[in-house]
Structures are given as C-alpha cells and as structure tokens.
Structure 1
Amino acid sequence: MYTQRHSSSTLAMVRRWRTWIAALGLAVLTPWVMAQTAWVLSTQGDAAAGTAKTEYARVSLLAHAPQGIAPDQSVWLGVRIEHAPEWHTYWRNPGDSGLPIELNWQLPAGVQVGDIVWPTPRKFPIGELANYGYDGTVLLPVPVTITPGFAGSTLDVEVHATWLICRRECVPEEARLRMRWPVGAAIVADAAAFEAALASAPRPWEGRGELRVEGDRLHLQVAGLPADWRGQRLEFFPETGNLIAPGAPWTQSWEGDVWRAAIPLSPYRSEAPDRLAFVLAPPPAAPHGPGATGVRLTWPVSGTWPAIETPPPTEPTTAPAPADGAAPPTPEASVGLGWGLALLGALLGGVILNLMPCVFPVLAIKVMAFQSHGPHVRAQRLGGLAYTAGVVVSFLALGAALLGLRAAGEAVGWGFQLQNPLVVAALATLFTVIGLNLAGLFAFGSWVPSGLAGLQLRHPAADAFLTGVLATAIASPCTAPFMGASLGLAVTLPPVQALAVFATLGLGMALPYLAASAWPALARRLPRPGPWMETFRQAMAFPMFATVVWLLWVLGQQSGIHAVAALLLILLALAAVLWATRLHGRAARWLGTAAALLLAAALWALGPYVVREASAPAAVAADAEADGTWQPWSPQRQAELLAANRPVFVDFTAAWCVTCQVNKATVLGDPAVLHDAAAANIALLRADWTRRDPVITEALSALGRSGVPVYVLHVPGQAPRMLTEILSVAEVRAAFQAAARR
C-alpha cells in the first residue's frame, strides 16, 4: 500500500529537484544579454591591437610614417581588408549595387585626415549586372597631416569602419579599430603594403580625346594611353554612380594609339554631369586584390544627356521593388495594426505558445509542480501567481534586451539568444542535467548546501517563479500565430508601449496555468499522488534528452560537427561528475575528484570548439544539396527573379525554430506543394536565420516581423502575401494556385 508517508517523501523529492531545475533555468536566462553582448564584441576582434575579425573579413588599422610622427609631417594611415574567399567589397562607385566602405575617424587635436586613395578596382559581373570593388586583400590608404598644433607624445587613432561585403548575398559588417603610435620614431613595418597600395591607385593622366553623349550611349575617344595597353580590352570605371549600365554589353576598339568605346547609359540614370572623372585600366594580372593600375581622367562631357527617369532603389536590402520600378507595397498582414491589436495578438499568441512543440518538455515540470500542491487551494493560487510573475518578468527581460540591442545598432530579432552558440550549448547542458536528474542518476539535494535545499520549503512562491523563468527559456525561440505581427510592431514602438506588448505576451503564455490554479475543481480531477509519480518523473527524462538532440543539431548548424563532438565530450564528463555525487566513502572522494578534473580539462580544451562559428551557415547548403528545388535567399536573387516576372516564395527559417522545422517537414516538403510551385513557376528561396544575419533581420523588419517563421509569397505587381506561422498544405497550395492564375 502506498502510504501517506511515501506520498510526502515523493512530494518533497519533487519539490527539491524542481527548485534546482528552475534555478538552472534562471542561470541560463540571466546570462543571455551578457552572452549576446560578448558575442557581438567577439566579432570586433582585438580592437586594441588594431585588428578585427568579422564573419567574412579580417580588417587591420596600419600606419606608415618613414619620417616619424611629428608636427609639419605627413603620414599615412590605412585600413586593410582581407576578404573571405569569393567575397568582395566595393569601390567609391560600387556599380549596379553595393555600398563603399565608410571610415569615421577619431583623431587628437592637430591631426587632419584626408580622403581614401582608392586603388584601381576590378569588375565583378553578376548575371546581367556588374559591381566594382575588391576581393582578396586590399589596403585603403588615407593621407594624414600632423599640424603644428599637435602636442601629444603618442598618436592615438580610432576608426569606426562600416562596409557591405557580398558574394551572391550581401552582409553589412563593421569594426572599431584603435591604435597608438609613439611620436618621433619612424614607422615602416608595413611600408611594402602602403607602397603597393599607392602604386595600384590610378595615375593622373591628361591624354587627348573626347567624351560625348549620343542617344543612349556614352562615346569615348582617347589617344596617348600607355603603349603596352594597345590591343587589350580595357575597363571603364566612372566615379559617378548610377550613370552607365555596368553589366550591359558595350563596344570598344583600337585604331593605332586611339582607343574608342561606346558604353550604354543606365535607364535609371540620376546624373547629367558637365564633367566626368573616370578610370581606364587594362585587365588585372593578379586573380585577386585591386585591379591593374589604371589612369584617371577628368574631361568635359559634350552632347545632350537623355531625360532622367525616376530610378528604383539600386541596392535592395529588404523587399525589392517590383520590375516596373514602383515602390514595394506594404504587406497586407501589417496594415492598420495598432497598439491595441498588438496587445490582443500578443495575448492570443502567448496562449497558443503553450501548444507549440518547443514548449512540450516543460509541460511535465508544470504538471508535477501543480500536482505537488495537492488539495491546498491557497498554495495552488499562490503558485499560479508566482509562476505568472516569473513568465512575465522573463519576457520583459528578453524584450528589454532585444530593444536595447536594436537601439545600440545591432540587427537582432525575437529568438536572438539562440543565434549565439554559447547560449545553445548552455541550454543543451541545462537539459542534460534535468534529464539525468529525472532519470535518477543523481539528486540535486546531494550536492547543494542544506540551507539552500530547504529554500523551496520556506519560499514555495520562489520555486514557482523560477519554474516560470524556465518555461520562458524554453518557449522564447518560438513564434506562434498572432505573435509575429505584434512583435514586429513592438520593436517600432516607444519603449513603454513595446514592453507592454512583451508583458502581455508573457501573460498570455501563463494564462492557462494561472486559470487552472484558480480553479480548485481541477485538482480533484488530477490523479492522486502515488507510485505513478516516480514512473512519470523518469519517463519525462526522454523529452529532455530529445531536446538536447535538437539543440545539438542547432549547434551543428552554427559551429559545425566538431562543436557537436566537443560538447558531447563535455556533457559526458559532466555526467561522470553528477554520477559521482551519489557515491559514498573513499570511492566518492577519489572518483569525484577525477571526474571534476576530467570536466575541467574538457572545458579548457574543447570549450573553444563549441563556441567557434563555422565559416558559413550549413542549413541552407544542406537543404540545397538534399533538394535542388530550394535556393539560398538574398535580396539580389529575389530582385533578379521578380525582375524576370517570376513569383518568389521565401521561407524565413532557423535551425533553432522548432515550428520552422515542423512546417518544413510536413508542408514545405509535401510533393503536392512542390508540384504546384513548379506548375506556377514559383522560385523557392530559403532565408536561414540560424546565425545572426543583419540582412535577414532588416528584411523581416520590412515585413513587420521580428522573428521566424515567416512565409512570404511575392508576385510581380502585387502586394507580398504573408502566410500563417503554422502552415497547412491546403493554405500553401491555395496561395501557389492563385499565383499561377495571375
């Protein structure tokens, strides 16, 4: 017979392990903001040493002062960019799209900085378009004058560099670099790099010839160019942007020492200059870096420029303009959404969040916590209120962190914490500990001070509060119906109104448990305490381990297979430490010490592999290999497809979004859905947000969203159509069939 004494013992055990599981949840939630900040700072590299490592480049601040740093002297500063393979940045005129680097200097009094001395660029054809810029390694020199007013003993320099780096997709990056050089001493360590950079800059050239406009073409006739250029196909780089069509075919020819060319003007030209500065250069000899050294000419323009048409955006970074040049229409789903509707959507979304797959593991904890109160109505209600407070406060903390990071210039959205491999690893560790405890490998009370072990008995409300924190930690990566539009609006509202939306979202999530705690009849419907609780507790270890498997998969998308192996070894050592806590006597002392040393060694040796990011997100590449019907999303690719009058369906997803993965497996991979997409000639693009990507964040913001999943169907000439967060085959097929009938 299961006696009341056994029931009390089981309930006390439940209280103990639930207290420390919830405390671990708080321990993970509290460092989220700190981890995100550390992650952002880690991308800046060793700024004090004048270098920074971003996702796709390494940048350095260099100086060249052969005569030393002193008043009335001119020195050179420079920013060197080492691009990742296949990536490039832009010249002063980026061509069809792109942005040149911007350098914002902070210099002491008496120091004056000039403009970048741009090396000759190279041309990057992209389909029917073309850009001008650099790949490989390039140094951008800047002249600096030390005036008599300078009186320092050191030259302290800080520069904030921002640039756009592109391959097929584009990513905005930045770095803040600082250096200090002593006054008087010659600085020549990077003399060769500066000499090469200055030598690659186009040389001033007088030349002879003519530059005139005829119809829709710019005609050049140049005589006296270097003799070794004759017979070669030259490149033409105008310093005025949006003037010619860089990717369009054009003609050129040599007649003796005279070079002639006819270059098509851009149909979206925005300038009609009387004088034009331009660079001519031969084909580059080196495969990477600056182009071959060219010549720079500034000539008057004769003839009559065609009428200027209103241009569409040249660098679509979010929702590209339709092919007819009109501004992109506002998504239907976000029209007219006010603060009141945002609050209502947040409340409903929070309630539905309890049904999302990512929240299932915490349901067991909530059920056992509710049952542990037994028939005590007052304890149930107090626990419900404390649980609600824990959820609401946690959502407020996450909302404040999100708003603060966005105000600081970081492109982040809902679920940003799981874009950090350190947070993913911490959550995997938390759920491993929970699962091992539920399975009976160890008891929390065996390795915590007795005073802390009695905390729940003295303050049961604190235990319920921490359970709410843990529930939020698990639920935060998800986006439920009605949540997307509310969160998208919240990040644009004043802070007080925005935080009210986040608080309402937390209230909605806690509402079912709060209502149940206030309804005494519910307790009488639950099974009475008995041996089933121990079996139920052990069975609930398996959802926790399943969550660990999912988090390991997410980590693999972010940091690669080596990170997964490293974390598994660390978790193995942690399991050995926890197992040793249940031993007694000399075996416990020796084996516990050995296990602790093993864990410390694993953390020291393998920890860096866990948080190290892979060179590129693996999720999209894996999808592309597994199914050629999906392509990686980029603003440029989307714009190209829409310009070709082809509908585009974009799946904004992330590996850590369980709802995204369920939709992908059950709906987006359905043969009927794929057949309808092919029949309507719809391009399927996937925007992977597993790791922090400012371009995707901006695209989501343009759609009125701040988290994933988001599903958008773009049809040329129509407003983007937003689908629901939880897809159905019927909904997607109806949207695709409607696009086919356009």
Structure 2
Amino acid sequence: MSFAAPLLSRLRFMRHLLPALLAAAFSAAAPAQVAGLNVLASGAPGDEVATPQVRAQLLAYAPQGVPVGAEAAEAANAARRPVWLGLRLEHQPHWHTYWKNPGDSGLPTKLEWTLPPGVRAGEIQWPLPQRLPLGPLVNYGYEGTVLLPVPLTITPEFEPGPAAEAMEVRLHASWLVCKQECIPQEGDFAIRLPLRGSSALNGAAFEQALGRLPADLPSGGQTATLSSDGQRLQMRISGLPASVQGQPLQWFPETGDIVAAAVSPAREGAALTPATWSQKWEGDVWTASLPVADTRLESPAALPLLLAAADGQSWRAHAEVQGQWPAVQPPDGVSPQMAAALQEGAAASALSPAPSPAGAAAVPASVFFFALLGALLGGMVLNLMPCVFPVLAIKVIGFARHGDNLRAQRAGGLAYTAGVVLSFVLLGGLMLALRAAGAQLGWGFQLQSPLVIALLAALFAVLGLNLAGVFEFGQFLPSRVASLQAENPVIDSFLSGVLAVAVASPCTAPFMGASLGLAIGLPAAQALAIFAALGLGMALPYLAASWLPALARCLPRPGAWMEVFKKFMAFPMFATATWLLWVLGQQSGINGAAALLMILVALAMLLWALGLQGRARIGLAAFAAAALIGLLAGIGPNVTHLEESAAATGNAASAGSRWQPWSDAAVQAALSEGHPVFIDYTAAWCVTCQYNKKTTLASQQVLDAFDAAGVRTFRADWTRRDPVISAHLQSLGRSGVPTYVLQAKGRAPQVFSEVIGVDEILAGLKALEAAP
C-alpha cells in the first residue's frame, strides 16, 4: 500500500467530520437545539446504553447455543450453527446515524469487540440505508430502529474450560447521531452467551434484519465504464429479477468519495450536469450515468453498489471499472504552476513598497460617519458568530453570578467593554504598524500563525477542562493570586473581553469588510476610531444588559442551574479547540495536528494531577510535567512547521475541476481570452467562508449562470499568510475574507457582500451582460 494512503484516509475523515463539527458549532447559537448535547460517559458495561437521542442495545442470537471444541469443528457451516451479535439503535424522531458510506458528511458507526481466544467477529452486515438530505448535502444512514448484525466465527481453538457456562463478549461502540446538530457518542456493552443453552430471544429481530440484507447479484455482466474525461461512470447491471425490470431504482455506492452523493435525477430530455444522473432499462439490463465525485481520492478497479426497488428489495452489484481513471490530485495541494505564480507575485510585491496608512488622506466626514456606523453594526453581528459563542456564554455565567448586585454587573460590563475595545484598537494598531513597515497582512492575520492557533487551542482546552470540573484554578494557584482573582472579578470580565476579540476577529461579519478595508487606507487616528467602533459594537449588548435594570431583570437568577450550565459549556469549548486543531492541520499537516493533540493530552493530565490531594499529587504531577516537557521538546516543532503538502481548505481544486487555484497569471489569462472571472477569497479558519461555499457557491442555479456567461471560477486560499493575496485584497478595499469578486476585461471589479446570496450573484452577472 502506498505511503499516501493513510494520509488520504485522514483527509477523507476530516472532510466527513468537518460538516458535523460546523453543524454543532452553529447549533450552539440556538439554545433550543443544544439541550441534548452530550458525549456519553458510560459507567459499568451492560447490554444497553441510552442518551436523549439514541437507545443502543447489544443483542445476541444463537438458537443452538455456542459450539465448543469438536462441535465448533463440525459447525464450520455457519448456516447450520449460526451465532450472531448485533447493535440495535433506536433513534428519537428526526435523529439519524450513518451507513458504512456516510455520503457527503458524517461518520459510520464503529464496533470494537473484545472476544475470548478462538472467537472472531466478522464485518457489520449493513442493512440498506436511506438517503438523508441536509441542505446542500446528501447523507446515507438510518432513522427509526436499525439492527447492525455481526457474525461470530467459533473456531476449535475456543476452549472455555469444563466449568464455564457462558461466553462473555464486550463491545465498545461509537456513533455520530445527527439532526440539525451532530453529537458524537459512545458506549461500552457486555453480554454473556450461554454455551449449552439457546439464545433465541431476539431471533425475530435478527431474522428480519438478515432477511432485509441486500442479495448478491450473479458475478459478471456488471460494469462501470468511465467517460473520456473521467467525470462520469456509465453503469450496466444485469441479473436483476424480472419483477423489477422497467422500474426506477435507487442506488447507494458502498465506497465513499467515488460517486457524487448530492445529485438528483435529470429531467427527461435535459442535458446531464455534474449535479444530475440518469437511469434507464435496456431490456433486462439496468443502465445509469452517474457523476464522479470531485473529491475522489482513489481509483478503484471495481465499484460495489447497492440497488433498491420501491418495495424494499435490494441487491449488491460489484461492477468492474473499465477505462482509465484520471490521476488523483491532492484535494488541497498547491500546483507547481500556482507555486511559481505566487513566487513571481511575491517577488514583484517586494519590489514595490506597500502604501503607508500614515500618509493616507482623510475621507469626508459623511463617509467616515457611515464607516463608523458600519463598524458598529459589524461588531454587533459578531456576537452571532459560532466561534464567539463559547466566550460569550462565560460572560452570561458571570452576569448571572452577580444576581441582584447591579453595581457588580455594571462594573463587569464596563470591564468587558474595555477589554473588547482595547483589544480591537491594539489589533488595529498592530496591523497599521506592520503595514507601514511593509508587511502585507489582513484582518484575521493572527490565525495564519500556527503558534497562535496552537496557543488558542490550548487555552480553549484548558477552559473546557475547568468548566467540566476536572480542576479549579484556585487549587494550584498561589493564595495571593487566587484571592486577587476572587476579590477582583472585574479583571475576569476584562480578560473575557480580550479572549472574545482573539477568537472573533477572523469571523468577518456583514458590514465589517468595507469598514475595515477603508480603515487600512485612513490616517491612523481615523483608522483606530473605526477599530474602536467595531469593538464597541461587539460589547454593546452586554454593556446595555449590565447598565439597564430592565434588561438585567431578564437575566436568570443564581441557582443550581449555573453549575449544570457551566459543565455543559465545556463541550462548546472542546468543539472550538477541535476546530482550531483542524485549522492547524491545514497549515502544519497531520503531524502538526497530532503533535498538538498529544501535547494537549499531557497538559490535561498535568492540570488534573495538580488538582489532586495527598501524596499522589506530587508524583503524578511530576510525571505529567516531565511528559509535557518531553513532548514539547520532541514533537513541539511539528506544530509550528508549515508543511507544504498540508491541506489548505479544500478550495484549491484539482486540475480540470470547476474551481481552479487562484493566481494573478491565471486570472489575467482567462480575462485575455474574453472570459469573465469570479474569485472566491477564502480561508479554512473563516466559518462564513465555509458556509457560503456549501450554500450559495454550490447552488446549481449559480453554477448554471456561471456556465451560461462563460465565467471562470477561482479560489484564493488565504489560510496561510500570503502577501500576494493580501495585496490583491487591499487593492479591492478589503482586508479580510470572505471576499467575492466578479470581473471582466476592461471593467471595474464587482465586490459582493460577505454573506453572499444567489440573487446577488445573478444580479451581478446581469449587470455584467448589460454593461457596454
């Protein structure tokens, strides 16, 4: 197996997991949706585990008992002496788990068995799934109740002993359960199968599940022929029963990332597109034209596919792939052409000095007023961003802790506002100073540094551990520091404002882009005033709540709920740390992300040990500290190492796909050929970018309009610091992402809003056509 295979599997894992994490992050902003958010903490293993979303139960089926010794040798024919185990999942309404190929997002249920020597567990016999559309995505999974049966092989080496009466089986199961939000859960199970008795209580459930498994079609006569461009598969499946011939069938690819999941049947007579598929019968042969996924990471010689009829019958085909697969391109890599273009652009940028904000001219008072207003509104919108929510939740706990103490609330509100405004002003001042020195930066530049990302991930992990009750800061802080913290809660409010800005600044919200872009070109005083207005807008809701008694009375009163809510808020903290870990992986690669994760584990152990009492504290704390120091010295450099082959965001598409890697040379070449261009300036750490990418920019209406107008589409990845992209953003009057630009030869670029809509793009295309 190629050394790249583990890396590709990890890339695929991250692609599937990312939508689930983003969904959980967005759901955190809606209190009505997060009441059930919990990762299962199981106690002593039993045969059942229940969560608010799923009831999981380990079942067994051995109607003739468990064969032992000579009986096991005679029972080589499993049909004569079947032994089955299975995990039954009962989902609450509208919740679902995933099939072996989860589709566009999600993760399959995983079963890890602990069995006696001589007993082996087979693969899950996956029942036929159902299609589960979720916005622009399509997943494959199960709702209601599903049983995942697993066959056991009892070999003659199984020797339980003469006095043994039962065989003990243990299972660790993990699953991802989703509705609008996604919750990873797990559980430990244990069951005893009698050796000399029958385990047939659950026979009906197993017989029903096994009877509904897809039947294997006869081998031969099943092909998948690649089109000349490698973008479609022409399926020909024979051997299906005469009773279903002529009927439309559903299809489910067992291998992920080969056939596109989010596609719909093409209208009769309409041309096929990357988002449509077609099927028809040619006599007794079912044929279909299926689009190849643009995220393909493998080139299989055969394609396993499930086909299902309307009456529930299903069959498993194993189609041999005919034709030559196009070469697999790294999904997020940088092509040599793009690297050369970036180097040329960087060299050209180095020859021309960056404009200095200090020498910029002031704008008219009316323009400056609207810039301040836009910054104020943009700061308020920042409170709705999912990456900011965990910090603001801590602020709510602080307000509630003050109860009826209006004076303390007001002091906390002012301190929080001071922390937010001062942090924005300092960030703005740092940007202006660096730009004056010739450095090309932009808003959110701090998350282009792996070190800053690692420190933020560690901070959120520590906060999560504290909220979860693993340790308390006062347990190992010096008494003078602990008393200072208790006597000066204003400091806590100030620091929470600083933390909120550190996390919020990359989440460029509506109204922010134009104001920040303008600020970069203003004199220092006016520029800093805009940054201060942005901070004031972000802090304004909490400042108002702390000073207005009517709003303060709406806050919940102190009580036992605070301790529950405090521990609950640990999970958004961990989710934020996970997001930051993913962002780090885009810059430092899988080795950097794994190194940071190991360091965080050692850090968590050290914090836990420091909170212990007695002699164990010294020994365990010393061991944990030594482990942490050793990891920092040994693998710490991997965290800050920029790996050239690391995935950026999934936006630098492979050659031949719709979205091409951005370079100024490629854009100019397209314009010179008479093609309009649409440029998506994006980054992995920009949540708004990822949302727009999955919604508006994936809309078939938008893609069809691009095709009709002959538009070439490019993605400029700003996950890492890139002076060429920074310079282009500055020339557009923007300082951060997302930024969307439509441009044609000889015409001024059209810059769209950050949260871009379908109608806005269509209007821009119409304006382009109407222009002389």
1:673 to 686, 702, 706: 702
Residue number in structure 2 paired with 1:618 = 647
SS of the residue 2:605 aligns to: helix
- State whether residues 654 and 660 of structure 2, in contact with CA within 8 Å, keep that contact through their aligned partners in structure 1: no
SS in 2 for 1:358: coil
Residues of 1 paired with 2:435 and 2:349: CA distance? 25
What displacement does 1:608 show?
0.4
In the superposition, relative to structure 1, how do residues 316 and 400 fare at CA in structure 2: closer, same or farther (>3 Å)? Answer: closer
Write the letter of the residue equivalent to 1:689.
W
Question: Out of 494, 498, 505, which is 2:523 matched to?
Answer: 494
Provide the rounded CA distance (Å) in 1 between the counterparts of 2:349 and 2:463. 52
Q: Given the superposition, is the C-alpha separation of residues 316 and 462 from structure 1 closer, same or farther in structure 2, using an over 3 Å criterion?
A: closer
Aligned to 2:686: 657
CA deviation string 1:31-54 (max 9, x = no partner) = xxxxxxxxxxxxxxxxxxxxxxxx
What are the residue-to-residue correspondences of 1:235-634 with 2, within 5 Å?
Answer: 338-615=367-644, 618-619=647-648, 623-625=652-654, 628-634=657-663
Note if contact 1:617-1:691 (Cα within 8 Å) is conserved in structure 2. no
Aligned CA distance change for structure 1 residues 403 and 721 (closer, same or farther; 3 Å): same
Q: Which residue of 2 is the match for residue 691 of structure 1?
A: 720
Pick closer, same or farther for the CA change 1:167–1:337 going to 2, 3 Å: farther
Amino acid of the residue matched to residue 597 of structure 1?
A
Q: Describe the superposition over 1:237-275 as per-residue Cα deviations: whole angstroms up to 9, x where unpaired.
A: xxxxxxxxxxxxxxxxxxxxxxxxxxxxxxxxxxxxxxx
SS in 2 for 1:506: helix
Matches within 5 A, 1:52-201: 167-171=340-344
Q: Deviations over 1:504-563 (max 9, x none)?
A: 111111111111111112232222222211111111111111111211111111111110
Write the distance in 2 (CA, Å) between the matches of 1:695 and 1:600. 38
Structure 2 letter corresponding to 1:512 = P
2:37 matched to which residue of 1? none
Residue type of the alignment partner of 1:167: A
C-alpha displacement at 1:383, in angstroms? 1.3
Equivalent positions of 1:700-711 (< 5 A) are 700-711=729-740
Q: Structure 1 residues 591, 627: CA separation in 2 closer, same or farther (over 3 Å shift)?
A: farther
Report if the CA contact (8 A) 1:169-1:633 is conserved.
no
Provide the rounded CA distance (Å) in 2 between the counterparts of 1:317 and 1:390.
Answer: 37
Change (3 A) 1:591 1:315: closer
Q: d(CA) in 1 for partners of 2:496 and 2:601?
A: 26
1-side partners of 2:544 and 2:650: how far apart? 45
- The 1-side partners of 2:740 and 2:651 are apart by 20
Greater than 6 Å deviation, 4+ residue runs: 313-318, 334-337
- CA-to-aligned-CA distance 1:632-660 (integer Å, 9 cap, x gap): 11111111111111111111111111111
Contact 1:169–1:636 (CA<8 Å) still a contact in 2?
no
Deviation digits for residues 108-139 of structure 1 (CA, Å, limit 9, x no counterpart)? xxxxxxxxxxxxxxxxxxxxxxxxxxxx9xxx
1:68-96 CA-to-partner distances (Å, cap 9, x unmatched) read xxxxxxxxxxxxxxxxxxxxxxxxxxxxx
Unaligned runs of 5+ in 1: 1-135, 137-163, 175-312, 319-333
Instruction: Say whether the 8 Å CA contact 1:317–1:635 is kept in structure 2.
Output: no
% identity of equivalent residues? 58
Cα distance change of structure 1 residues 315 and 442 upon mapping to structure 2, 3 Å threshold: closer
Q: Deviations over 1:392-449 (max 9, x none)?
A: 1111111111111111111111111111110011111111111111111111111111
CA apart distance, 1:739: 4.1
Aligned to 1:278: none
CA distance in 1, matches of 2:649, 2:570: 32
Letter in 1 for 2:463: I
Partner of 2:164 in structure 1? none
TM-superposed CA distance for 1:486, in Å, is 1.3
Question: Do the aligned partners of 1:317 and 1:698 also contact (CA within 8 Å) in 2?
Answer: no
- Per-residue deviation, 1:722: 1.2
1:172 Cα deviation after fit? 5.1
Residues 662 and 316 of structure 1, relative CA distance in 2, 3 Å threshold: farther
In the TM superposition, what whole-angstrom CA distance separates every residue of 1:366-386 from its partner, at most 9, and x where no partner exists? 211111111111211121111
In structure 1, the residue corresponding to 2:736 is in which secondary structure?
Answer: coil
Structure of greater relative contact order (alpha carbons < 8 Å, 6+ residues apart): 1
Contact 2:379/2:538 (8 A) holds in 1: yes
1:581-604 deviations in Å (ceiling 9; x for gaps): 232222111111101100000100
DSSP-derived class of the 2:680 partner: strand
Measure the CA separation in 2 of the matches of 1:622 and 1:676: 20
Q: Is the 8 A contact 2:440 2:727 kept in 1?
A: yes
Structural RMSD (CA): 2.8
Contact 1:653 1:709 in 2 (8 A): yes
State the TM-score, normalized to the length of structure 1.
Answer: 0.55
* Partner Cα separation in structure 2 for residue 444 and residue 560 of structure 1: 33
Specify the code of the residue in structure 1 equivalent to 2:340: R
> What is the one-letter code of the residue matched to 2:539?
A
Kindly provide the amino acid, as one letter, of the partner of residue 714 in structure 1: Q
Change beyond 3 A, Cα 1:460–1:315? closer
CA distance in 2, matches of 1:485, 1:454: 45
Distance 1:314 1:392, change over 3 A: closer
Amino acid at match of 1:549: T
Deviation readout 1:265-306 (Å, 9 max, x if unpaired) = xxxxxxxxxxxxxxxxxxxxxxxxxxxxxxxxxxxxxxxxxx
CA distance in 1, matches of 2:467, 2:525: 40
Deviation at 1:715, TM superposition (A): 2.6
Distance in 2 (alpha carbons) for counterparts of 1:498 and 1:335: 13
> What is residue 258 of structure 1 aligned with on the other side?
none
> What's the offset of the Cα at 1:571?
0.7
Paired letter, 1:619: A
- Alpha carbons of structure 1 residues 617 and 740: separation in structure 2 relative to 1, 3 Å: farther
Shift of 1:461: 2.0
* C-alpha contact (below 8 Å) 1:559/1:612 kept by paired residues: yes
Residue among 661, 669, 673 paired with 1:640 = 669
Letter in 2 for 1:378: R
CA contact (8 A) 2:395 2:493 kept: no
Q: What residue identity is the alignment partner of 1:533?
A: M
Contact 1:689 1:696 in 2 (8 A): yes
From the superposition, tell whether residues 453 and 314 of structure 1 become closer, same or farther in structure 2 (CA, over 3 Å): closer
Change (3 A) 1:726 1:165: closer
Q: Of the two, which has the highest radius of gyration?
A: 1
Give the count of matched residue pairs.
427
- CA 1:729/1:317 → structure 2, altered by over 3 Å: closer, same or farther? farther
Contact in 1 for aligned 2:516/2:734 (Cα 8 Å): yes
Q: 1:477 to 1:171 in 2, by over 3 A?
A: farther
Q: CA deviation at 1:314?
A: 14
- 2:388 is paired with a residue whose SS is helix
